[in-house]
Amino acid sequence: MKTLQRKYDVVVIGGGPGGIPAAIAASRNGAKVLLVEKSGYLGGNLTIGLPLLGYLDKDGKPVTAGIAQELVDELKKRNSCTDHYPCPMHNSITLYDHEIFKVVAFEMCLNAGVEILLHTEIIDTNVENGKIKAVTLFGKGYHIEVEAAVYIDASGDGDMGYMAGATYNMGQKDTGALQPPTLMFTLGNVDTDKTIEFIASDPEQMRLCNTIECDFDKYNAEFFRSNPYHVMVGLRKLFLELKAKGELPVDRDTLIYIKSLIPGEVHINSTRHLGINGSDVLDLTRSEIEGHLQIPKLVETLKKYVPGFENCYITQIYPSMGIRETRRFAGLCELTEEKIMVGDVPEDTVALGSYIIDIHEGNGAGTIVKRIKPYGIPYGCTVSKDIDNLMFSGRCASLDAVVMSSARVMPTCMAIGEAAGVGAALAVKQNILPSQVDVKEVRNILRNANVILEPAE
């Protein structure tokens, strides 16, 4: 087996929504950066059929810009992305072409000077005196020993932090359950106009459970008619009837479809896999298999019972499970539910969140949704309290379980990533630890990069 040695200023593990902006920001601010991704493309959950949720707050005001907006702007130049459309359920919806996103991600990383390594995973960390001295990567029979000054874990599940022995938590506070993952898939030949008319004829289909906060008078058939780029969460009445009759092959109480930019195509976010820990390879394998077996059964149910889906067919099953929740690591500070419920925006804020609290119940079929005001994510949430040169981006940052259920959406993960990348580059440039970086300097750089750090008045 061949072994290579490499040295960088900053190594980012994970080329998804948390990793791409982290790598770009670090490189733009002078660091020599390696971005490591296990797949043969960049994007992670940005490429599995999901929409971009929460660029706007519940009042329709922007909360996320910076590199996250640059990616959207580049997609729009290729006619591959919509505007940010307000939504009574999701704050805002942005639809885009997931395949073109892969191209844009490569271009933006390369233009920033990021070195990319694909088909590669981290398999070990060498920790000495509370610092990561090197990490071992593996791909195609190669061991690659990589040294860096700062390491950013953007793997989603916190694989590097776990290997380094950093402190983490998992599960919801009351139950310990993890939000269940979903295997996304796409259907062709769907007539959503018929689905919307079915909803119009029976408005109770959109009356969601009392754990979902939504303006039901606005999130209805008329909204879907007037907003062709929408996400529909509904048909709860029908799904509960089918469940009672034993004809629903998934543990859900609603259908979620996401309009595609391609006419007649929708992305389906409705498989559900209870008791799965996405950071456990055995669980992950079981859920991937389970998802592939659930999908044809669910499609047959939709064809049989849902108007507009009578002649649909599967066009794509995405290559990896969408994981909602696994490890959350201890940082210099932890952002808690109490802070975000009052819209706290502290002086050390480096990213804003405002997406709904969105907890898919790990022990059942329901979902808990609460609409909230914009809140600030402090720099300390990106810096490990245990490992001096380790930082976190995306959903494995230092957030409690409720906050993570809001901050896990991809625009917010991208905002966290950009902040972590700036902090890492400053630590390298000044030969200090990430914890010693002046947050005011991080904020100034972010502001100059068009990052939004204060909610609009």
The pLDDT value recorded for residue 281 is: 97
pLDDT at residue 188 in the model: 98
Q: pLDDT band at 27, cuts 50/70/90?
A: very high
Q: What 3-state class would DSSP assign to 387?
A: coil
Q: Which pLDDT score is estimated for 304?
A: 98
pLDDT digit string, tens, across residues 203-226: 999 988 888 888 778 999 999 999
Q: Is 81 left (phi over 0), alpha (psi -120 to 50) or beta?
A: beta
- 357-360/367-370 β-pairing: antiparallel
User: 435 phi and psi, to 5 degrees?
Assistant: -70, -20
Per-residue pLDDT of 238-282, as tens digits, reads 999 999 999 999 999 999 999 999 999 999 999 999 999 999 999
Question: Into which CATH architecture does domain 2-176+324-358+373-449 fall?
Answer: 3-Layer(bba) Sandwich (3.50)
Q: Which two tokens stand for residue 229?
A: 């780029």
Identify each DSSP E strand in 161-286 by its residue range: 168-169, 185-188, 231-234, 255-259, 266-268
pLDDT tens-digit series, residues 393-412: 999 999 999 999 999 999 99
The tens digit of pLDDT for each residue in 30-62 reads 999 999 999 999 999 999 999 999 999 999 999
User: What is the distance between the alpha carbons of residues 101 and 79, in angstroms, rounded to a whole number?
Assistant: 11
Which residue is it, tokens 């398999």? Answer: 123
Q: pLDDT tier at 192 (50, 70, 90 boundaries)? A: very high
CB neighbourhood size of 418 (10 A): 32
List, as one string, the DSSP characters of 151-190: EEE-SSS-HHHHHHT--EE-S-TTT-PPPPPB--EEEES-
Closest Cα to residue 439, out of 351, 343, 340?
Answer: 351
pLDDT tens-digit map of 293-349: 999 999 999 999 999 999 999 999 999 999 999 999 999 999 999 999 999 999 999
pLDDT at 227: 95
Cα(33)–Cα(159) distance, integer angstroms: 19
Q: Whole-angstrom Cα distance, residue 21 to residue 38?
A: 17
The full DSSP string for 78-128 is: TT-B---EEETTTEEEE-B-HHHHHHHHHHHHHHHT-EEE-S-EEEEEEEE
Distance CA 454, CA 457 (A): 9
Cα–Cα distance between 385 and 375 in angstroms, integer?
22
Per-chain mean pLDDT for the chain: 96
Angle at 214 (CA atoms; ends 213, 216), nearest 5 degrees: 135
Q: Mean pLDDT across the stretch 5-21?
A: 98
pLDDT of residue 154 exceeding 90, the answer is yes
pLDDT score recorded for residue 251: 92
Domain with CATH 3.50.50.60 in the chain: 2-176+324-358+373-449
Q: Is the confidence at residue 1, as pLDDT, over 80? A: no
What pLDDT shows up at residue 163?
98
pLDDT at 208: 87
With cut-offs at 50, 70 and 90, classify the pLDDT of residue 23.
Answer: very high
Nearest to 412 by CA among 452, 371, 359, 384: 452
